[in-house]
A and B are shown apart, each in its own frame.
Chain A
Amino acid sequence: GAVVSQHPSRVICKSGTSVKIECRSLDFQATTMFWYRQFPKQSLMLMATSNEGSKATYEQGVEKDKFLINHASLTLSTLTVTSAHPEDSSFYICSARNEGANYGYTFGSGTRLTVV
């Protein structure tokens, strides 16, 4: 079945540094990938839609300069949290749309980011 690999699964970084999270579709091509953020005890919130070869589309309230998204190939999207602060600590999950399958969406395993 379709697999999305997300790395790293867990990262701790210092305030002010940047962290890159990778999302790869392993056995299918994904022109569209999605980045979600999950706050404790809350649902997933869509942050942005990553489009291969073009700019990402950000949801309202998400700072595009802070959460840089690059979707340079059909199998890889990256989310870079720039100048991270403790309030950026969260669980980030990516998903990719498998356009060859009926139901489409496959999720990565998530990245737990802790900013200290």
Chain B
Amino acid sequence: GEDVEQSLFLSVREGDSSVINCTYTDSSSTYLYWYKQEPGAGLQLLTYIFSNMDMKQDQRLTVLLNKKDKHLSLRIADTQTGDSAIYFCAETYQKYSGGGADGLTFGKGTHLIIQP
């Protein structure tokens, strides 16, 4: 079955770069996503990458995709206290062989802790 793995915690100093890593198993994933969840809130889509891309940059965020190793990373440059949250990696998967609606498989989330 589908599986998405990420480490549970990452601690960085304010101003440094944060790199959150994720591995996935479904090689047929078409899109891979990074979501941010602040305490008690819903998920906020941060960025996504199409599976035929290696890299995507969006302001302070850089996503790297190594499709051969099934490894996805999210780099946050100049990490700020407002970046403190849980970050979820997710992949799409085809649930039904007949072409039914895709679902998303999430990792357990990485809790990003910012040190002053």
Question: Residue B33 contacts which of A34, A49, A103, A108 (CB distance < 8 angstroms)?
Answer: A103
Residues 9-29 of chain B: 1 if any A CB is under 8 Å from the residue's CB, otherwise 0?
A: 000000000000000000000
Chain B interface SS verdict (over half): strand
CB A102 to nearest CB in B, in angstroms, measures: 8
* CA gap between A42 and B103 in the complex, in Å: 18
Q: How far is the CB of A46 from chain B (nearest CB, A)?
A: 6
- A44 lies within 8 A of B40 (CB): no
CA–CA, A68 to B105, complex, Å?
A: 22
Known: A43-B106, A95-B104, A103-B33. A49 touches B95 (CB 8 A): yes
Q: Is the CB of A34 within 8 A of B104?
A: yes
Nearest to A105 among chain B residues (CB) is B104
Is there an interface contact between A43 and B108, defined as CB atoms closer than 8 Å?
Answer: yes
B27 to chain A, nearest CB (A): 19
Chain A interface residues (CB < 8 Å from chain B): 6, 32, 34, 42-44, 46, 49, 51, 57, 93, 95, 97, 102-110, 112
Inter-chain residue pair count (beta carbon < 8 A) = 52
Bound together, the chains give a CA A104 to CA B92 distance in angstroms of 10
A112 to chain B, nearest CB (A): 7
The answer to whether B101 touches A51 (Cβ under 8 A) is yes
- Report B-chain residues with C-beta under 8 Å of the C-beta of A106: 45
B42 adjacent to chain A (CB < 8 Å): yes
Per DSSP, chain A at the interface is: strand
Complex CA distance for A112 and B41, rounded to whole angstroms: 9
Q: Contact between A49 and B101 (Cβ–Cβ < 8 Å)?
A: yes
User: What mask results when residues 95 to 116 of chain B are scored 1 for a CB within 8 Å of chain A, else 0?
Assistant: 1000011111111110000000
- Known contacts A6-B42, A42-B108, A103-B45; 12 additional CB pairs below 8 A are A44-B43, A44-B88, A44-B106, A46-B105, A49-B101, A97-B101, A102-B50, A103-B31, A103-B48, A107-B42, A107-B43, A110-B41
Enumerate chain A residues within 8 angstroms of B88, measured Cβ to Cβ: 43-44
Contact of B107 among A6, A32, A43, A112 (CB under 8 A): A43
